[in-house]
């Protein structure tokens, strides 16, 4: 297979390729969901992610240039990756306005699709997938809810 230029590959095309490849031998199937928060993306966003509508998971209370989705497009430089991420979030208190609603949305999806045993998350979706795994562990300990997620893949951007 010839190398592909990364500027011509979208996340959805990679996901579709992976889904088709795994379906060949019935190894796995995919159930896709969007984040529940509609977003008006910053300039240049559609060139990478395609024509909308676009959604995100996290409602961070930011608007326009102040939102994390806009600030990540101007990713700060740091002496190491950890410093760059700290600089990106320096003005954000970490509050996630819709945490309960997102967890309920994800649990509802799991309850309606009993065959789901794994999760794949990209970028902000990776954060939500990791949050679900931690929340599943909490619910297992607190109320005995059986864990559903047996494997996870996280992609960051």
Active-site residue numbers? 123
Beta strands in 103-147 (DSSP E): 118-122
3-state DSSP assignment of residue 153: strand
- Burial of 114 (C-beta count, 10 Å sphere; 0-12/13-18/19+): exposed
DSSP characters over 84-117: HHHHHTTT-----TTHHHHHHHHHHHHHH-TT--
Residue 55, strand partner residues: 38
Distance separating alpha carbons of residues 57 and 47, to the nearest angstrom: 20
6: enclosing H helix or E strand: none
Distance of CA 155 to the CA centre of its chain: 8
């Amino acid at each position: 297979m010839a190398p592909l230029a990364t500027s011509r590959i979208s996340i959805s095309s990679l996901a579709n390729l992976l889904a088709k490849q795994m379906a060949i031998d019935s190894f796995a199937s995919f159930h896709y969901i969007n984040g529940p928060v509609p977003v008006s993306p910053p300039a240049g966003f559609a060139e990478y992610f395609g024509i909308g509508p676009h959604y995100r998971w996290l409602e961070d209370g930011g608007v326009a240039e102040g939102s994390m989705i806009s600030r990540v497009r101007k990713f700060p430089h740091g002496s190491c990756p950890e410093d760059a991420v700290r600089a990106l979030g320096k003005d954000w208190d970490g509050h996630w306005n819709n945490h309960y609603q997102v967890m309920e949305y994800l649990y509802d999806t799991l309850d309606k699709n009993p065959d789901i045993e794994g999760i794949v998350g990209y970028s902000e979706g990776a954060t939500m997938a990791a949050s679900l795994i931690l929340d599943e562990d909490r619910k297992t300990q607190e109320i005995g809810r059986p864990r559903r997620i047996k494997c996870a893949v996280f992609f960051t951007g």
